[in-house]
Amino acid sequence: MGENLFWVSVVAVVIGMLLVAFGGQREPGAKDWPASVQWGYLALVIGGFGVLANYMSFTAVMLVFVLITGAVWALDKWLLAKKRDASGAPTTHFVEYSSGFFPVILVVFLLRSFLVEPFQIPSSSMRPGLVVGDFILVNKFTYGIRVPVLNNVVVPVNKVERGDVVVFNYPPNPKVNYIKRVIGLSGDVVEYRNKRLTINGKPLKDENDGTYDYLEQGMAMIHNDQFKETLDGKTFKTLNIPDTPVVALGQVSDFPYRDQCQYDDNGFICKVPAGHYFMLGDNRDNSLDGRYWGFVDDKLMVGKAFLIWMNFSAPSRIGTMIR
């Protein structure tokens, strides 16, 4: 989260606390609390989420909210409600709103953790298949049911396959999600030289598919050669820019298992360590991917991208399956 958004969230929390504290009381016989109190709790939830998101993942923040509101709901259900019935005391707004938020937050948490998670394409690294503005859905259970936050597989389902388009936590900063294509599995030797991929000594089948031009950030027109590439039976399109280096050597970081890779002016070769994957963007000359920051640990996997559900600037893309 940017610094400005963090401070906006802090301000929202402060305003929310003031509104809750000084927003007034519920009138006798009224069903709802004053609007100022309602807005105060809304500001607390949104602001609190923003503050915590600066320090932990979205899933972890959701879990914190589930635990807090769930504890209040359980305490009210099995203890506080009985005491109120006996004494005739009214429900406090904290208990009422916490108990009301709990089922909503719980459902969202369960859906995002175990079924599907939405994701917005932030860059052109997966063109031509995915473009900026695509809103996609990610299947969370296809690679196994995982413990939230820890992300360990507890119920295996399917294995990650070469050619899958996946969302994962960015290794240098796991709070950020990335989307790329799986090129190498554990033990694979991935070589990308002179803009051609080789996996375990076998060159991938590719064929020229004309050209592909797009406007980058509304400013510069990018001209690309387009190819059809086939990996383990999956055919997809990739882009590269003629006469552009295969890898910008100055941008390669000192990542874990860096000794498993060798780089030169014509490309690189890497052996994927156990429990890891190697990812590349389909837009090969405009992608910050595994060649620069290394391998993706299985614990960082989020899920498999499978559907474009919205694109406000290109409605014809809605419903497109991701391959």
CA distances (Å), 188 to each of 164, 192, 230, 266, in order? Answer: 15, 13, 17, 20
Contact 305, 166 (CB under 8 A): yes
83 in catalytic set: no
- Catalytic-role residue among 180, 237, 271, 304: 180
- Catalytic-role residue among 99, 125, 195, 304: 125
Beta-carbon count within 10 A of 9 CB:
21
Pairing type for strands 196-199 and 189-193 reads antiparallel
| Local structure of 77: helix, strand or coil | helix
Q: What share of the chain is helix, strand, coil (3-state, %, to 5)?
A: 35, 30, 35
CA angle 10, 15, 20 (to 5 degrees): 125
Q: Is 106 exposed, middle or buried (0-12, 13-18, 19+ CB in 10 A)?
A: middle
Looking at the DSSP bridge assignments, the partners of residue 313 are none
36 in catalytic set: no
Contact 247, 240 (CB under 8 A): no
| Local structure of 315: helix, strand or coil | helix
> What is the spatial distance between Cα 104 and Cα 219, in angstroms, rounded to a whole number?
42
> What is the spatial distance between Cα 25 and Cα 23, in angstroms, rounded to a whole number?
7
Beta-carbon count within 10 A of 46 CB:
15
Catalytic machinery residues: 125, 180
